[in-house]
Amino acid sequence: MPVIYLLAGSCDRSEDPVQAPVILISVSPDAGNTTQTFFFDLSGSESRSSRGTRLFSRWDWDGDGQWDTPLTRLLKYEHRYYAPGTWRLRIEMVNLDGGSDTASFTVPVERGYSAPRPKLTVEPSEGHIYTQFLLDASQTLDDEDSLDQLSFRWDYESDGTWDTQPDHIAHTIHRFSEAGFYQVGLEVKDPAGLITRIKAPVTVTLEDPRLIASFRWSPDSVTNDTAITLDASASIDPDFPDKPLQYRWNWNNDAFWDTEWLTDPVIIHYFDEVAFSFVKLEVKSHRGLLNDTLQKIRVYHRNVPPRAAFGVSTQTGNLRTQFRFDGWFCRDYESATSKMFYRWDFEGDGRYDTEPTHDVVVLHSYDHPGVYQPTLELTDLSGGTDTCSTTVWVSNGTNQTDMIRYAGQFTYENIGTVLIGDQWWFSRNLSTQDTTKFYLQTSINGWERYYEYGNLYTVPGATTCPEGWRIPSKEDWARLFSNYDEEELFDALLPGGLSDFGLMMGGRATGFSIPSATLAGLGREATFWTTSHPLSAEPSNKWIVTFYLAGKSISQGYNPSEGKWYSVRCVKDR
């Protein structure tokens, strides 16, 4: 139990106004051995200072005249003696006035005996059945005895049977004969007969990271239901390069191997699905050690002919117009758009005007008026071909034409323009929506229809047209019509007409969403939005302009706009 020492200074300090503190120490235990820790509590000490109760103390644990701790405000200390004897402790205590006192007392310590504290490391911690594992306990400590006085013995398989006799060697090397997870047991014993046992984990597998598992395949471009040759002959055991290997394959990296162990490194396989296949190869050495590799193989469709499709900046112009033919809409399963070959027949006369090149976009002007069927022949890298064509009208007109490029909703748009009177107009209907939403009739849901007729829109907003352009007003349409006599107006606006306006009959639709809208009039009529509405009526009423191909008539007037889908042209002043 703890003993309390009351230690006050004994010198006469009656003439000194600074008083020394009263040292009160509780020691627990009052006697012990070398395995115990002693606790010293100064909490009962008295400062005797008018400036406060704080105290500072330091210790000389062995009475050698050297302070072993600095002055601190700690009131509780602990200390352990590793050698037996009667130890004289000395303490100095200082208060805030600078008053100090020292005192000493003794603590008897007998010889005690503690068990060893083993430390075991395994290097490497994981290996195979031919790995030499170093089991090292050389960092083991014992409070009373040196390392060479301790004895060690080992249980390698964790089976409760010691595999070695006790000796003073703190390390050993061992090779495990079977794969598995082991807890290597170590027993350390000191001269007093005290024993400590610990375990360390070791993982033993058949995996040999030095084995090189490697394979390649041909052809490089793999297609489904086509023979592919996989060659693992580059695999090798660098420690035994002359020894043969065995091979097995897993075609989709699942839990089951698809082949038995094979001696031939070359195998032929057919992939059924068009997907990424993760193929695993495992190799086995003559010693039974393993390693594997995993590679991703892209399996394409067997070469499917490409899909040719192109857009034209405008389908109507004159001899001064540069038509932009854009093949970026071509698609192929196996070939990138930029890697395929493009050959153009601008007149549609069966005689190609260019050689096959990688030029996806070309420009062309026509020397004579007429109606042409420009045709694209597309060839992919496997020799598959496809063709497509559209119609281009070239007039005798003399209006200035141009082309603008702007960011549409899903891609950059290139669209032709024409100067008619003092206004610039788009020379084809606006088309800035995803083509998968173009009309509802799947039979005409193609790129050629998209560029020929444009999109249908609900009431267009201020940002529908590119910057600098606007939705026409009622007055803009009137200015357009004023450039031609009434009897020649309709023909002048049609594709091939003198205006090069390129009026296309995009039809109209009724409904409140794309899926529910009903299309009518495609190829027979065209209705266009304006921004004009009557001041005395609902703002939702809009002035619309409708062209009817039959009879070549034009109808204009205010109509309710809700649930209506019409074509859009953009205009700007010169």
Interval 73-90: pLDDT, tens: 999 999 999 899 999 999
| CB count in 10 Å sphere of residue 301 | 12
Q: How far is CA 447 from CA 238, 344, 361, 373, 451, in A?
A: 58, 18, 16, 16, 6
What confidence score (pLDDT) does residue 448 get? 46
How many degrees, rounded to 5, is the angle at CA 18 between CA 16 and CA 19?
100
Contact of 385 with 368, CB cutoff 8 Å = no
Q: What is the pLDDT of residues 406-425, one digit of tens each?
A: 876 666 778 999 999 999 99
Q: What is the pLDDT of residues 533-568, one digit of tens each?
A: 887 656 678 999 999 999 999 999 999 988 899 999
* Dist CA 329 CA 195 (whole Å): 81
- For 297-325, write each residue's pLDDT tens digit: 999 877 778 999 998 999 999 999 999 99
Of 157 and 432, more confident:
157
Is it the case that residue 444 has pLDDT exceeding 60? no
Beta strands, E only, 214-289: 216-218, 222-223, 227-231, 246-250, 266-270, 276-284
Side chain identity at residue 242, one-letter code: D
Sheet holding 392-395, edge to edge: 316-318, 392-395, 370-372
- Is residue 7 predicted with pLDDT exceeding 90? no
β-strand pairing of 375-379 with 290-300:
unpaired
SS3 label, residue 384: coil
Domain spanning 216-300, CATH class: mainly beta
If we measure between CA atoms, which residue out of 293, 289, 299 comes closest to residue 215? 293
Number of H helices, E strands in the chain: 3, 41
Which residues, in sequence order, are CB contacts of 188 under 8 Å at separation 6+? 116, 118, 137, 140, 150, 151, 152, 195, 196, 197
Output the pLDDT for position 274.
84
Complete edge-to-edge strand list for the sheet that includes strand 32-33: 32-33, 100-110, 85-95, 55-60
pLDDT at 362 over 60: yes
pLDDT value, residue 443: 36
Give the C-alpha separation, 214 to 289, whole Å.
Answer: 16
Fold entry, domain 3-110: Immunoglobulin-like (2.60.40)
Distance CA 38, CA 28 (A): 6
Q: Report the Cα–Cα distance between both ends of the chain, in Å, rounded.
A: 108
Percent helix, percent strand, percent coil in the chain, to nearest 5? 5, 40, 55
Domain 121-205 adopts which CATH fold?
Answer: Immunoglobulin-like (2.60.40)
- Which amino acid is it at 240? F
Is residue 552 within 8 Å of 490, Cβ to Cβ?
yes
Q: Grade residue 455 by pLDDT with cuts at 50, 70 and 90.
A: confident
Confidence of residue 273 (pLDDT cuts 50, 70, 90): confident
At residue 339, what are phi and psi to the nearest 5 degrees? -95, -10
Q: Tell me the percentage of the chain whose pLDDT exceeds 70.
A: 92
Chain Cα centroid distance, residue 120: 41
pLDDT band at 518 (very low <50, low <70, confident <90, very high): confident
Q: Which two tokens stand for residue 510?
A: 């009724």
Q: Return the CATH architecture of domain 311-398.
A: Sandwich (2.60)
Confidence of residue 440 (pLDDT cuts 50, 70, 90): very low
Q: Where does the pLDDT of residue 450 fall: very low under 50, low under 70, confident under 90, or very high at 90 and above?
A: low
The answer on pLDDT for 514 being more than 70 is no
CA angle, 164 as apex, 158 and 168 as ends, to 5°? 120
The H or E element spanning position 490 is helix 486-493
Cβ-based neighbours of 283, under 8 Å, separated by 6 or more: 211, 213, 232, 235, 245, 246, 247, 290, 291, 292
